[in-house]
Chains A and B, each alone.
Chain A
Amino acid sequence: MLRIENVNTHYGPIQALHDVSIEVKQGEIVTLIGANGAGKTTLMMTICGDPQATTGSVQFDGEEISNLQTASIMQKGLAIVPEGRRVFSGMTVEENLAMGGYFRTKAEAAETMEHVLELFPRLRERFSQRAGTMSGGEQQMLAIGRAMMSRPRMILLDEPSLGLAPIIIQQIFEIIQKLRDEGVTIFLVEQNANQALRIADRGYVLEHGHVVLEGSGQDLLTNEDVQKAYLGG
């Protein structure tokens, strides 16, 4: 569904990604792990077209998207939950969700909103509360819900566990699996390697802008190098 081939990305003269190739198939959860500064977020942003890949190709559903504008990429059935949640803190939960359904008709958006609220009962409780006054976990749910509002076929999640309590992280990962069961393909970038690999079908390890390892989630979990570097084994 998403195919990244030999992508190189530069920030000015600095090369952040070196010949990265990754594939995410329909219905999979694929996770990308790596240390700080390995290029995980850069890869995410390259998919979204900001910065654009210097060379290589990014294909979504067989369509080349590496030279499109961010705004048009995000309207192709791809959604991203950005790092650090980034909900609109001054707006209510309802307004935040409505922003997610910006490009859809009122009726469609209302239908999806109902669906999101069923998925996240907590958001229904907080429906007319300002997003900025909610807890980190609730905000993360809202950020995921907002991304869902465009009815994407694929969601990119950038560090959804960032700064959350372990029990909340557990909930977030359960939600991610639930999304997959609904048929949404998921590409998950995580530092929390242990939990991310547990739910992933396949995984990639990124180091200094290179993909150094790939394999099924289970393989990577038991891989010695991965254990040493990311799982504290």
Chain B
Amino acid sequence: MQNSKFLSALFAAGITFVLACLMIGVKLDTEGTELAVTGATAEQWTWIGLGIGLVFLSQLFSNQIDAFFGKLPKPKLGGLLPEEKKRAALKPWLLAALIVGMLVWPFMVSRGAVDLATLTLIYIMLGLGLNIVVGLAGLLDLGFVAFYAVGAYTYALLSMYFGLSFWMCLPISAGLAALFGFLLGFPVLRLRGDYLAIVTLGFGEIIRILLNNWTELTNGPSGISGIPKPTLFGLEFTRRAKEEGAQTFHDFMGISYSSSYKVIFLYLIAVLLVIFVIYLINRLMRMPIGRAWEALREDEIACRSLGLNRTTIKLSAFTLGASTAGFAGSFFAARQGFISPESFIFIESAIILAIVVLGGMGSQIGVILAAIVMTILPELAREFAEYRMLLFGLLMVVMMRWRPEGLVPMKRPHLELKS
């Protein structure tokens, strides 16, 4: 026992050594026209040595360390929360306070923060959409970004060719993404698990490659720029109205122009969209169809024995998830003002999936929290530059080790024994 422990500790230390040498120990620099390899400084080597030692020791004494942490008293978070009844009474007030807070907050902070919050809200929308497909219906979709792309390009192309406005395109984008979800879902939903994952992965790539190569329609890799921003009942947020007769927001209100109005306006739209999506999904989850999604995830045969049509149920989940992504996509295009196939690569799908898994499959609050963590953390970790992805990976490993069910696991009603 002790021996195998020692071996595994040695192995872990060895892996750390190899990785650290490759990533920190050796650096490539350009000297004139040539690449030169420079070794790490003595100080860096000391740190690497210390790190390896730490890994070795923590592996060797992992049992003792686990026992030590096990003994530490766990904070009783349950006691901090008010009682069930009080909580139920407080809930609407808390919700109202949260919404008001979200609406007031942008007027007090910097432009950058509001912009970041808008991005977070987009990911929340995407996470909520994928949560229906993966978390509730249990269909592993690795190409979710395709629907996001469909939504974004729908708005971009419609506004470029036909001059349709954002508000008009929003439902069209959702509808078109839903249609794509339906078309993809129809043939592939008889597949299960890994097979479904591979097909959806392929679909995601097909859409991206199509956008890349259909140059006449989509401008290919150079993307579409100058996508108009949303307007408020026809009021534009630019310094001067683009068209004759159109009015700008600051003229109408009689205030001086500031570019932050636009950012705040976009943020507010995002807030409204997210609230709408949350409301819609919540309603659906309480309806029989929501329960059917979960039932199908749990036991397909039992579902069929009850006369449920699995294709319809899976398709509805798939289509609904896709339309949410289409929603997010068209908003993304409007916010960004520029889109190209580069924005819809596989890593985006992976991030959205990570949000769902990290948050706890099926749990809406978890997904929202995870979306916040996953978008804000990379921003905060900006100073670490190239080690950002490393930190990201570390976070994933730590999560899977200590909270495999996600940040906020999906809550199921349970009976409490009263003595």
Contact = CB atoms under 8 A, between A and B. Distances in A.
Contact of B413 (A69, A92, A99, A102): A92
B298 A90 contact: yes
Contacts of B304: 48, 50, 70-71, 74
A68 to B, nearest CB: 11
Nearest to B289: A102
A80 B306 CA distance: 8
Contacts of A103: 307
B415 A88 contact: no
B193 interface: no
Contact of A74 (B292, B299, B306): B306
Q: Is the interface of A mostly helix, strand, loop or mixed?
A: loop
A88 B298 contact: yes
Contact of B292 (A72, A86, A102, A147): A102
Given A102-B288, A129-B414, A130-B414, A87 B305 contact: no
Contacts of B295: 88, 91, 99
Contact of A88 (B288, B302, B414): B302
A47 B126 CA distance: 43
Interface in A147-169: 147, 150
Interface in A69-123: 69-75, 79-82, 86-92, 95, 98-100, 102-103
Contacts of A73: 307
A98 B288 contact: yes
A82 B291 contact: no
A55 interface: no
A128 interface: yes
Question: Which one of A80, A88, A103, A150 has the highest number of Cβ atoms from chain B below 10 Å of its Cβ?
Answer: A88
Given A74-B305, A102-B308, A90 B294 contact: yes
Contacts, number: 77
A146 interface: yes
Contact of A86 (B291, B302, B308, B415): B302
Interface string B400-419: 00000000000011110000
Interface string B140-167: 0000000000000000000000000000
A99 to B, nearest CB: 5
Contact of B307 (A81, A95, A130, A150): A150
B26 interface: no
Contacts of A50: 304
B291 A130 contact: no
Given A79-B305, A86-B299, 7 more contacts: A48-B305, A69-B309, A89-B299, A95-B291, A99-B291, A99-B303, A147-B306
Closest 5 CB pairs of A and B: A74-B307, A86-B302, A71-B309, A75-B307, A88-B298
25 contacts: A48-B304, A48-B305, A71-B307, A71-B308, A71-B309, A72-B307, A74-B304, A75-B307, A82-B301, A86-B301, A87-B302, A88-B295, A88-B299, A90-B412, A91-B295, A95-B291, A98-B291, A102-B306, A103-B307, A129-B414, A129-B415, A130-B414, A147-B305, A147-B306, A150-B306
